Chain A
Amino acid sequence: MHTSSPPLAPPTLEVTALQTSFIYKRFSVKAVRDVSLRLERGKTLALVGESGSGKSVAALSLMGLLPPAGRIVGGQAVYRQADGTTHDLARLQRRQMRRLSGPDLAMIFQEPMTSLNPLLTVGDQIVEMLLTHERLSREAARKRTLDILRLVEIPAAERRIDDYPHQMSGGMRQRIVIAMALVCNPALLIADEPTTALDVTIQAQILDLMRRLQAELGMSILFITHDLGVVAEIAHQVAVMYAGEVVEQAEVGQLFSSPAHPYTQGLLSSIPHAMRKNPEEGRRARLNPIPGSVPPIHALPEGCTFRPRCPHSEQRCTLPVTLETAGPGHRTRCWKWEAVQWSTRH
């Protein structure tokens, strides 16, 4: 599974065939069946998929934050520190994971309204992060906290630092969550739908903020979303997930212009075209939803999981599919990718 022209610098994160299951007494569920990702230093990789495709579980697996029943059952997730030291996140002990969480890996969660502790001031919650990982006095930690609050553009930071989360709006709280994630200068930021719960104007502000912070701090971002509009705005690379597998990964322009997996193609053609150059055309154009729905995890079809919904499917698709290379840095889990690309262009 090598790309045809490997980039020069080794990636910050290289996930290979990651598998995560939820194991209960009587049954288990494979939420992540085969996820392979490659995230370059200082870049943003968007992980895209519908709800239930396993993208959040994949992210939680990387952070060691799976709920009690969740277990990583296979694969590797190699995180490479700036000095070249590597850690396999899929096999880390809790203690090692704790040491990395904060200064190396940080996460932003989907739900700003509930992801802050209601009983502690926002300042205390950020200070706690600093004091856990750095040898600082309380005063110095508070000063750093003020700095980071200003960086994420909290107005009147010296006053808001002592506010409780309930005294803030959703957008402000998400800024706090971002500030908390960034305060120890992580090399890899995992953002799980950080803007989904916010309204569109706030969403644009937050995306803009993240882009600027990435340029300033040079971190790599794994950005999880189901919104292809957001992907176009923020990502350098995109990986598309379907039913627990990454079905395609490519550079963002490449993915949008010539998708090499029928699922990606379907996703792209189901975006409303309100933004088209000719508004009349946009209004008249019908949406092309993908027929059918995502199969439940316990009843996946054999071979290609997208087969029952795929316009290109044929007999051969019942056999297991591996990742094919469809171009430089472009991988797809479809052996008919050439036909798919051709059909997009015509």
Chain B
Amino acid sequence: MVSYLRTRLLGMVLTVLIVLVFVFFIARLAPGDPAELLLGPDASAADAEALRERMGLNLPVPVQFLSFLGQLLRGDLGTSIFYRQPVLEVMAARAEPTILLTLMSLAIAVTIALPIGIYGAYRRGGAFDQGAVAVAMLAAALPNFWVGLLLQKYLGTDLGWFPVSGYGNPDASIWERVQHLVLPSIALGFAQSAIILRFSRASMLDVLGDDYIRTARSKGISERRVVLRHALRNALIPIVTVIGLSFALLISGAVITERVFNLPGVGSLIVGAVLRRDYPLIQAALIVVAALYILVNFLIDMIYLAIDPRVKY
């Protein structure tokens, strides 16, 4: 177990490093120049050149990369070109809405999808099951920005149940901020729930046909117990995998959803940073996202360990 964790940790660090290399070079492959964008169209070529020199952008890209690595080893992810603050500070200030949005939409997706998937599988081919599958297909096909717009119109503007956009005043209470996140979370969670529903249904169907389910029934235990104690735990293994994978989709979905709902989160921060060619910020943000994703995958493997006694590391 200890040696597994050691190898695993090494692998995770390596993955982050690879991501880092890609992010660094791809950001610089894109056309556009942060100095010119920062100074505006009226600035002279000489001013731009001077700024580039000050930011170290006139050096050859490999040299820039080495100095970036050097910084990184000292724990410094750099300073944002646009905000002129350390990138970690910039991101920390924007982290809360993104974290809450991701968690809330995941919670919504799982709460909708898991019971429906399980019940649908249990009553396979029935009206409920067929309806659920049809709705899930539709949900998966709808782009979440469009669902977001519909929610804004009907639940936000027409019914006035939830705030339409934004994140409230800076000094708003957490309750108020959470209310601002309800519609974006539904928009984001909806499509996720479609995927999780189809997987939990399929996984449950699979497990319900297994021999040990028949054995459990032969013991005269209640159907509820057969499904929840014997079938569900076995079905959870693939479901947990999908939930983990869909976490990645949630992060990328958050970028779009934050734009639609005008949330000051990491997603909109990344979009802004890309448009402004704010290299340090792009790099830092993507590294953090990649690290999060890797961490979630690691957590899922740990969950397997808890669910399935056959899994040994």
Q: Which A residues contact B (CB, under 8 angstroms)?
A: 63, 65, 67-68, 94, 97-103, 106-107, 109, 111, 114-120, 128-129, 132-133, 164, 166, 177, 180-181
Contact = CB atoms under 8 A, between A and B. Distances in A.
Of A103, A119, A164, A180, most buried by chain B (CB within 10 Å of CB) is A119
A111 to B, nearest CB: 6
B220 A117 contact: no
Interface string B175-211: 0000000000000000000000000000000000111
Contacts of B309: 118-119, 164, 166
28 contacts: A63-B218, A65-B214, A67-B209, A98-B222, A99-B220, A101-B218, A101-B219, A102-B219, A109-B211, A111-B211, A115-B211, A115-B212, A117-B212, A117-B215, A117-B230, A118-B310, A119-B234, A119-B308, A119-B309, A120-B230, A128-B219, A128-B229, A129-B219, A133-B220, A166-B309, A177-B215, A180-B215, A180-B219
A266 B57 CA distance: 91
B307 A119 contact: yes
4 A-B pairs closest in CB distance: A101-B220, A114-B211, A102-B220, A98-B220
Given A102-B220, A103-B220, 5 more contacts: A65-B214, A101-B217, A114-B211, A116-B215, A117-B216
Contacts of B214: 65, 109, 115
Interface residues of B, number: 23
Contacts of A133: 220
Contacts of A106: 218
A117 B234 contact: yes
A166 B218 contact: no
Interface of B: 124, 209-212, 214-223, 229-230, 233-234, 307-310
Contacts of A118: 212, 234, 308-310
A128 B310 contact: no
B221 A128 contact: yes
A132 B221 CA distance: 6
Contacts of A63: 218
Given A115-B211, A118-B212, A65 B234 contact: no
A188 to B, nearest CB: 12
Nearest to A100: B220
A118 B210 CA distance: 11
A107 B218 contact: yes
Contacts of A67: 209
A177 B220 CA distance: 15
Given A118-B309, A118-B310, A164-B310, A132 B220 contact: yes
A166 B310 contact: yes
